């Protein structure tokens, strides 16, 4: 019989998260164990997490997948709940999670949770922002590993074939307070686009040219603005559409920079 304190572990990834970590940890104070995996925060994040009784694994390096895997290794729970520092679990979601994992007899060992995203304080309903399912509740012995540098995904036993179970979907959402201001949006784009460009470059992406720049940006505009009707979120929806097109452009521009650097002839003095 598993002790209650080891039944459900929450794993939280942090980096300079002082503005959101307290609300995040308060929303999961009911779990049996909280493991914070911190990526070298230089603010009060670690102190705040320790004050709120979390187990902190500090100065971790590597990708998001690496840090999620570190959290899984350190956690003692039968079930793992992954939550980011800018997310919160609502009382309704708490009740649903406990209902699913208590006396669990289903072959389903992983659950996707919808996210209710707030951008610049506005709840996003269009533009591909809802329901925004993320696979975050996993039975530990079914988790093989997390993979991927960006937009990482867990590898679950029996999936994707699904012969030994499948992915369930919860109804109640995580609250996700993503970018609170435009400056943080731009900073994140600069950081993530660097990684994305290197991944595309490593995968031998075709050489960038004018046509590829325009088609990449048009696809993003079509998806966010037309297919997902992002403009229905009002001025913030329009800002987000333009921003996502810009973000896509920056990633491909950095890819182009890597490609031309590869073939650039060094300048030598005579």
Task: Please report, in tens digits, the pLDDT of each residue of the chain (270 residues total).
Answer: 344 446 999 999 999 999 999 999 999 999 999 999 999 999 999 999 999 999 999 988 889 999 999 999 999 999 999 999 999 999 999 999 999 998 777 888 999 999 999 999 999 999 999 999 999 999 999 999 999 888 899 999 877 643 444 789 999 999 999 988 899 899 889 989 999 999 999 999 999 999 999 999 999 999 999 999 999 999 999 999 999 999 999 999 999 999 998 766 555 554
Question: What pLDDT is attached to residue 263?
Answer: 65
Domain extent listing, the chain? 4-177, 182-263
Do the Cβ atoms of 114 and 174 come closer than 8 Å?
yes
CATH ID of 4-177, from 3.40.50.300, 1.10.443.10, 3.40.50.960, 3.90.550.10: 3.90.550.10
Helices 234-263 and 210-221: angle between axes, nearest 10 degrees: 160
The gap from C-alpha 269 to its chain's centroid, in whole angstroms, comes to 48
What CA–CA distances, in Å, run from 263 to 92, 260, 268? 56, 5, 15
Question: What pLDDT is attached to residue 270?
Answer: 47
The Cα 196–Cα 150 span in angstroms is 7
Q: And the tokens for 29?
A: 């104070």
Question: What pLDDT is attached to residue 140?
Answer: 96
Q: Look at the block and give the residue holding tokens 């400056």.
A: 183
- Looking at the DSSP assignment, which residues form a beta bridge with residue 137? 81, 111
Q: And the tokens for 51?
A: 């004050």
Burial (0-12, 13-18, 19+ Cβ within 10 Å), 84? buried
Helices 234-263 and 182-202: angle between axes, nearest 10 degrees: 40
Question: What pLDDT is attached to residue 25?
Answer: 98
């Amino acid at each position: 019989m598993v002790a209650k304190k080891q039944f459900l572990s929450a794993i939280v990834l942090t980096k300079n998260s002082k503005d959101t970590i307290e609300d995040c940890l308060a929303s999961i104070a009911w779990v049996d164990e909280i493991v914070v995996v911190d990526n070298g925060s230089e603010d009060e994040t670690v102190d705040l997490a320790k004050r709120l009784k979390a187990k902190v694994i500090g100065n971790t390096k590597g990708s998001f997948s690496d840090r999620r895997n570190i959290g899984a290794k350190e956690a003692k729970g039968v079930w793992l709940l992954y939550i980011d520092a800018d997310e919160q679990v609502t009382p309704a979601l708490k009740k649903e999670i406990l209902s699913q994992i208590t006396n669990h007899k289903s072959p389903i060992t992983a659950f996707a949770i919808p996210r209710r995203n707030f951008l610049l304080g506005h709840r996003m309903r269009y533009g591909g922002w809802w329901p925004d399912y993320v696979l975050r509740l996993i039975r530990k012995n079914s988790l093989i590993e997390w993979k991927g540098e960006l937009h990482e995904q867990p590898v679950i036993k029996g999936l994707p074939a699904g012969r030994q179970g499948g992915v369930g979907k919860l109804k109640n959402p995580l609250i996700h307070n993503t970018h609170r201001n435009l400056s943080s949006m731009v900073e994140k784009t600069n950081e993530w686009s660097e990684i994305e460009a290197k991944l595309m470059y490593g995968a031998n992406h075709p050489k960038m040219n004018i046509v590829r720049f325009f088609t990449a940006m048009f696809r993003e505009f079509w998806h966010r603005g037309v297919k997902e009707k992002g403009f229905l979120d009002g001025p913030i929806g329009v800002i987000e559409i333009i921003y996502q097109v810009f973000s896509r452009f920056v990633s491909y521009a950095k890819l182009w920079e890597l490609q031309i650097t590869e073939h650039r002839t060094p300048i030598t003095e005579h």
